[in-house]
Chain A
Amino acid sequence: MQLQPRIEFQNVSKVFYARRQTITAVKDFSLKVNPGEFVTIVGPSGCGKSTVIRMLDGITTPTSGNILIDGEDFSEKKVDRETLKKIGFIFQEPNLLPWLTVEQNVELPLKIMHMNTLENQVRVKELIDMVGMRKYASAYPVEVSGGMTQRIGVIRAMVHDPEILLMDEPFGALDSITREQLNLELLQIWKKTHKTIIFITHNVEEAVLLSSRVYVMATGPGRLTDVVDIDLPRPRTLDMITDKKFIAYTKQLTSLIGEIDLSKIV
């Protein structure tokens, strides 16, 4: 019997109506993600990659095509709260609420989704410990560093123990050292929990390092152009970045995105 995919897009299009024109953000996008898979979507800015995962999390709905989450069709209706409980969304910016402390920010999804159980309360503490922020639990977001606030953004999305994590260029605004460190932390989390992850990035190295499969998108209109399976052993480490196979993948992806002329890279 074939495994039921956790997330499936069938010829999904999304059109925005601006004042005098219609903009096709995503056209005929199809994708299939099985439970426990880690896939990335790469592409130049404006290719609609953020729009794709925004359709999965109640932020927006598709104009045409079908979206299935665990077999349930969400093409006509917004993703409902019961399904949203299975999903955690991580924004490009930490998107923390400045009037709440670190701990209150992490608890926020539990309060709103009425999941404030004793078990989840314990998880709040565990997650804060996991990212080494116990000392800062009662600090306000402005009082901690950029890397720390993004860590809080990540654990806030995990506090209700969702099966699916959607990550919209989560570490894009961070310096490369913090970024690498967070990528490794993310791989450890994934290894431990085996969540289904869709990770959006424009960084091909990040895509190769993290995922099992890379979806490549192009602009005008935003569409899927290629799918590349990353056949590298796990667990992945930072040493692998200098591996021949790794470099071959990044070169292949870079040329597929077609944003940069490879001959110019020294």
Chain B
Amino acid sequence: MALKKKTLLHTIAPIATFFIVFLFWEIIVKSFELPKWLLPAPSNIFYSMVANFPAFWPHIWMSFITIFLGFIMAIPIAITFSAIVTNYVVVSAALTPYVLFLVTTPIITLVPLLMLWMGFGVNTRILTVLIQAFAIINLNSCTGFLNVPTLRHELMDTFGATRVQRFFHVTLPTALPDVFTGLRLATIFSTTTCISAEYVGGNSGLGSQIIMYSQFLKTTESFACIFYVALIGLFFYQLVGVVQNLVIKWKI
């Protein structure tokens, strides 16, 4: 009963917020008679999202698949990499400064160079997303792998566990919440990176469309694309949450 009430609250409250915000926006636009190219009314944006869907769809799909592929490929690479780095002091010493370099450098600065080498195609953008997602997932996984309580390592000592056994029986499960934090953050960064890369070059993907519509002062269509980007980002973020709840069944 109590649970039902809580779920209901969590469903109704955001929907209410949604209506209040957009109603407010609508009223401002209508009462000040703002021109469409400056700030379109939400009703117009939503109409455009539906009416122009056939035109938007290839770009939605393009951005979606770019983020998806870059993000998915980054996961095993980043987790394997951080597992090796945190397990071997030598590897860690040799590579940590460069990984840090990769994390702190805005990936968008690399995009013009990557495009120079690889062209304006989707592969370049997937690679950009992959690099960005890798950096974020790796950083969080390393934190998790290094924060295993000593007592759990000592337990493995008393069984004479090998490095691999120790990793799969203790280190990975202990670090899973941190790994998932990395995955969640990576979805946000992947979306941002994908759209930024589409801004820089090429004529497919929602990023390129936002730039194009803005240049023609078609602000309504621009906004419609931005909303689709937001939906894609939200989708991936929630997807990680769902997977996390399936994987981590125990309470800490």
Interface of A toward B, CB cutoff 8 Å: 54, 57-59, 79-81, 84, 87-89, 91, 93, 95, 97-99, 108-109, 111-113, 140, 142
Instruction: Choose among A80, A93, A98, A112 the residue that contacts B156 (Cβ–Cβ < 8 A).
Output: A112
Who on chain A is nearest to B176 by CB?
Answer: A99
The residues in B between 160 and 184 inclusive whose CB is less than 8 angstroms from any CB of A are 160-161, 165, 169-170, 173
Q: How long is the Cα–Cα vector from A59 to B152 in the complex, in angstroms? A: 11
Q: Give the dominant DSSP class at A's interface.
A: loop
- When the two chains form their complex, are residues A140 and B251 in contact, meaning their CB atoms are under 8 A apart? yes
> Interface size for chain B: under 10, 10 to 19, 20 to 34, or 35 or more residues?
10 to 19
- When the two chains form their complex, are residues B151 and A95 in contact, meaning their CB atoms are under 8 A apart? yes
A-B pairs with beta carbons under 8 Å apart, 10 shown: A59-B154, A59-B158, A79-B160, A89-B155, A91-B151, A97-B152, A112-B156, A112-B159, A113-B159, A142-B250
- When the two chains form their complex, are residues B169 and A108 in contact, meaning their CB atoms are under 8 A apart? yes
Q: Chain B contacts of A99 at CB under 8 A? A: 173, 248-250
- Are A91 and B159 CB-contacts (below 8 A) given A99-B173, A140-B251? no
Q: Chain B contacts of A84 at CB under 8 A? A: 158-160
Q: Chain B contacts of A95 at CB under 8 A? A: 151-152, 154-155
- B33 contacts the other chain (Cβ, under 8 Å)? no
- When the two chains form their complex, are residues B169 and A112 in contact, meaning their CB atoms are under 8 A apart? yes
Q: How long is the Cα–Cα vector from A141 to B56 in the complex, in angstroms? A: 51
- B89 contacts the other chain (Cβ, under 8 Å)? no
- When the two chains form their complex, are residues B152 and A58 in contact, meaning their CB atoms are under 8 A apart? no
List 9 other contacts, CB 8 Å, given A84-B159, A89-B155.
Answer: A57-B157, A58-B157, A87-B158, A95-B151, A95-B154, A98-B252, A99-B173, A109-B159, A142-B251
Q: How long is the Cα–Cα vector from A1 to B170 in the complex, in angstroms? A: 46
Q: Chain A contacts of B170 at CB under 8 A? A: 97
Q: Chain A contacts of B159 at CB under 8 A? A: 81, 84, 108-109, 112-113
- When the two chains form their complex, are residues A98 and B158 in contact, meaning their CB atoms are under 8 A apart? no
Query: How far apart are A102's CB and chain B's nearest CB, in angstroms?
Result: 12
- When the two chains form their complex, are residues A91 and B154 in contact, meaning their CB atoms are under 8 A apart? yes
Q: Chain B contacts of A113 at CB under 8 A? A: 159-160
Q: How long is the Cα–Cα vector from A80 to B158 in the complex, in angstroms? A: 10
Q: Chain B contacts of A97 at CB under 8 A? A: 152, 169-170, 173
Query: How far apart are B170's CB and chain A's nearest CB, in angstroms?
Result: 7
Query: How far apart are A224's CB and chain B's nearest CB, in angstroms?
Result: 24
- When the two chains form their complex, are residues A89 and B251 in contact, meaning their CB atoms are under 8 A apart? no
Q: Chain B contacts of A98 at CB under 8 A? A: 250-252
Who on chain A is nearest to B150 by CB?
Answer: A59
Q: Chain B contacts of A79 at CB under 8 A? A: 160
Query: How far apart are B176's CB and chain A's nearest CB, in angstroms?
Result: 8
- When the two chains form their complex, are residues A81 and B157 in contact, meaning their CB atoms are under 8 A apart? no
Q: Looking at B151, B155, B249, B251, which has the most chain A CB atoms within 10 Å of its CB?
A: B155
Q: How long is the Cα–Cα vector from A262 to B57 in the complex, in angstroms? A: 85
Q: Chain B contacts of A112 at CB under 8 A? A: 156, 159-161, 165, 169
Who on chain A is nearest to B159 by CB?
Answer: A112
Instruction: Choose among B157, B169, B249, B250 the residue that contacts A59 (Cβ–Cβ < 8 A).
Output: B157
- When the two chains form their complex, are residues B251 and A58 in contact, meaning their CB atoms are under 8 A apart? no
Query: How far apart are A244's CB and chain B's nearest CB, in angstroms?
Result: 40
Q: Chain B contacts of A81 at CB under 8 A? A: 159-160
Q: How long is the Cα–Cα vector from A54 to B157 in the complex, in angstroms? A: 10
Residues 238-252 of chain B, each 1 if its beta carbon lies under 8 Å from chain A, else 0: 000000000011111
- When the two chains form their complex, are residues B160 and A80 in contact, meaning their CB atoms are under 8 A apart? yes
Q: Chain A contacts of B169 at CB under 8 A? A: 97, 108, 111-112
Q: Chain B contacts of A142 at CB under 8 A? A: 250-251
Query: How far apart are B54's CB and chain A's nearest CB, in angstroms?
Result: 47
Q: How long is the Cα–Cα vector from A80 to B159 in the complex, in angstroms? A: 9
Q: Chain B contacts of A93 at CB under 8 A? A: 151
Q: How long is the Cα–Cα vector from A256 to B169 in the complex, in angstroms? A: 43
Query: How far apart are B53's CB and chain A's nearest CB, in angstroms?
Result: 44
Query: How far apart are B128's CB and chain A's nearest CB, in angstroms?
Result: 35
- Are A91 and B157 CB-contacts (below 8 A) given A98-B250, A142-B250? no
Q: How long is the Cα–Cα vector from A79 to B159 in the complex, in angstroms? A: 10
The residues in B between 193 and 235 inclusive whose CB is less than 8 angstroms from any CB of A are none
Query: How far apart are A144's CB and chain B's nearest CB, in angstroms?
Result: 13
Q: Chain A contacts of B154 at CB under 8 A? A: 54, 59, 91, 95
Q: Chain A contacts of B152 at CB under 8 A? A: 95, 97
Query: How far apart are B145's CB and chain A's nearest CB, in angstroms?
Result: 16
Q: Chain B contacts of A109 at CB under 8 A? A: 159
